[in-house]
Amino acid sequence: MRILRAARVAALFLFCCSVASAQMVTLSAKEGDLIFEGRVLGYDGRYFRLETVYGEVTIDGDEVTCVGNGCPTSSENMIRVRISGTQSATSVLLPALVESFALRNGYAFARVTQDATHFSYALVDGETGASLIEIGFRVSSSGEGFVDLLVDEADLVASLRPIRPGEAQLEEEAGRGDLTQPGRARILALDAVVPVVSPESSLPAITFRELIDAYSDPKATRAVHSLARGSGAFELFVDRALSPEGLDPTDSIVFHQSVADLRAALTDDPDAIGLTALSEVSGLRPVPLVSSCLMTYDTSPTSLKSGDYPLVAPVHLYSPARRLPPILQDFLAYLDSPAAQVVVQRARFVDQQPDLIPLAQQGARLAVAITQAGPEVPLPDLQTIIRDLAGYQRLSVTFLFDEDGDAFTTQSHEALKRLSKQINQGAFADRMILLTGHTASEGRFQDNRAKSIALAEQVKEALGVDREIALMGVGEALPRSCEDTVLGRSQNQRVEVWIR
């Protein structure tokens, strides 16, 4: 029975894929004289999405009659969704999530590969055989995904980096909505940008400042490589590490279209260094990032969840401001579920389920705090802070702010929603919750303590939960990053969550 059902799915899928998309139609209101003419951009079984001289419009198909080659027939009502973007998400993570979603809901599915970069899933009702949705994938890059959305060759974008201002402006002008607003992007999983070398390399570690210099200084002697521009990994490194310093990438960087090409280049030159995503380091050795203030930035799941690693790369899924069919809404809701987080782990990404970190496991940060104690951070104040944290465990949820310091980052917005939901559902009901505010070291310690309390209060208000939450402002007393870079200073302005 399962074999016959799978065969039917494949047949349905091939038939639907043969239907020409984006054809011209005329939609006439059943009551009144309103007429729309344009190109069909999408049809979900009821609603048309039409490109007209007035711009993109959504029209209820039950209220109009359709004339033209693009009008759907009863056998062509399968909802079609196209996803384009970063390779690791479109080739591994999202397909695993689609299959898991289908199995949990009793849907049969078939995967059909068109070519090396295009494949699709057809989902049908496991009992009735009714077609439900066709999800097409294009394995591209973060940058190409946003271009595909712009020219209406994609409905969702998987990106290893936040959308850039110029891209967001073009998308908004094209009617896709403001993709920088909360709710337009969700975090699927966590990845990271890591420096890598050949397994034969003798490089034991590299400081964050040395990494910045290697990719920006034209006089640097070490050969540097990266995945191609647009991959997301390199752009995130530029946006977070180079641009804040007023630096541009050096022209000597060698770019590669695939991880296999990057691996081959580094194997040929053991002294060279490359940049890629943590999820794609197979066959290469990640180089530990260290700092000038005794800190080592590891890429453990807990470090990525807490944001202690400075180049965390959340895998974003962007959706434009348009009506979504119910089954796609169900799929997007599933992505936030605990079941989906298990799939994320199996796909070798880092999930977003919070971990608890005992104070005793944060020795490196405490050692840095002690060595930096002095006139601005008196040792007695530091001792009081440590005593007040005794018995607490740090939750691997950290709230960061944008460059202006007055708005949450996309990852922090997602973390706020998730933590608020967990608390409202009874998580930590019999335990104390403490929010600690932190700042960079600019200014007087007492002023920074006041500022850090204000940051903690901002998070408390944003959580909007009906329970007692304690606040503490520690100023710059417990840094998690050196401040010899702009990124390091921004990493220190944050709010942490502690549980007892």
Q: How confident is the model at residue 360 (pLDDT cuts 50, 70, 90)?
A: confident
Mean pLDDT lowest among 134-138, 179-183, 204-208, 371-375 = 371-375
Is 366 part of any domain?
Answer: yes
Q: What is the pLDDT of residue 432?
A: 96
The CATH number of the domain where 474 resides is what?
3.30.1330.60
Amino acid found at 269: D
Domain limit, last residue, from 291, 306, 321: 306
Domain limit, last residue, from 306, 321, 341: 306
- b vs e for 372-391, b when ≥16 Cβ sit within 10 Å of the residue's Cβ? bbeebbeeebbeebbeebee
Same domain, residue pair 295 and 384: no
Number of H helices, E strands in the chain: 16, 24
Same domain, residue pair 274 and 378: no
Residue 337 or 12, more confident: 337
Q: What three-state secondary structure class fits 340? A: helix
Q: Which residues pair with 393 in a beta bridge?
A: 358, 499
* Whether the predicted pLDDT of 13 surpasses 80: no
Same domain, residue pair 373 and 293: no
pLDDT, tens only, 429-475: 999 999 999 998 888 889 999 999 999 999 999 999 989 999 999 99
* Whether the predicted pLDDT of 493 surpasses 80: yes
Q: What is the pLDDT of residue 267?
A: 95
pLDDT, tens only, 44-61: 777 888 889 888 888 988
Cα separation, 345 vs 305, in Å, equals 13
Percent above pLDDT 90 for the chain: 63
User: Taking Cα atoms as reference points, which of 326, 309, 359 lies closest to residue 79?
Assistant: 326
Kind of pairing, strands 131-140 and 433-438?
A: unpaired
Same domain, residue pair 283 and 369: no
Same domain, residue pair 397 and 467: yes
Q: How confident is the model at residue 17 (pLDDT cuts 50, 70, 90)?
A: very low
Are 206 and 216 contacting, i.e. CB atoms less than 8 angstroms apart?
Answer: no
Domain total in the chain: 2
Mean pLDDT lowest among 108-117, 358-367, 478-487 = 358-367
Is 118 part of any domain?
Answer: no
Q: What is the pLDDT of residue 185?
A: 93
Same domain, residue pair 380 and 487: yes
Q: What is the pLDDT of residue 7?
A: 46
Q: What is the pLDDT of residue 441?
A: 86
Distances (CA, A) of 158 to 148, 152, 217, 315, 436: 11, 15, 31, 7, 33
Domain limit, last residue, from 244, 278, 306: 306
Cα separation, 431 vs 497, in Å, equals 12
Are 342 and 112 contacting, i.e. CB atoms less than 8 angstroms apart?
Answer: no
Residue 206, token pair as written in the block: 């590299």
The CATH number of the domain where 278 resides is what?
3.40.190.10
Q: What is the pLDDT of residue 410?
A: 82
Is 314 part of any domain?
Answer: no
Amino acid found at 198: S
Same domain, residue pair 253 and 386: no
Is 285 part of any domain?
Answer: yes
Same domain, residue pair 210 and 292: yes
Residue 343, token pair as written in the block: 């799939």
Is 134 part of any domain?
Answer: no
Kind of pairing, strands 254-256 and 296-297?
A: unpaired
Which residues constitute the domain of residue 360? Answer: 354-499
- The upper half-sphere exposure of residue 130, i.e. CA atoms within 13 Å in the direction of its Cβ, equals 8
Same domain, residue pair 299 and 370: no
- The upper half-sphere exposure of residue 285, i.e. CA atoms within 13 Å in the direction of its Cβ, equals 16
pTM: 0.86
Q: What is the pLDDT of residue 373?
A: 61
Q: How confident is the model at residue 74 (pLDDT cuts 50, 70, 90)?
A: low
Mean pLDDT of the chain, nearest integer:
89
Is 441 part of any domain?
Answer: yes
Is 125 part of any domain?
Answer: no
Same domain, residue pair 364 and 476: yes
pLDDT, tens only, 294-340: 778 899 999 999 999 999 999 999 999 888 888 999 999 999 899 99
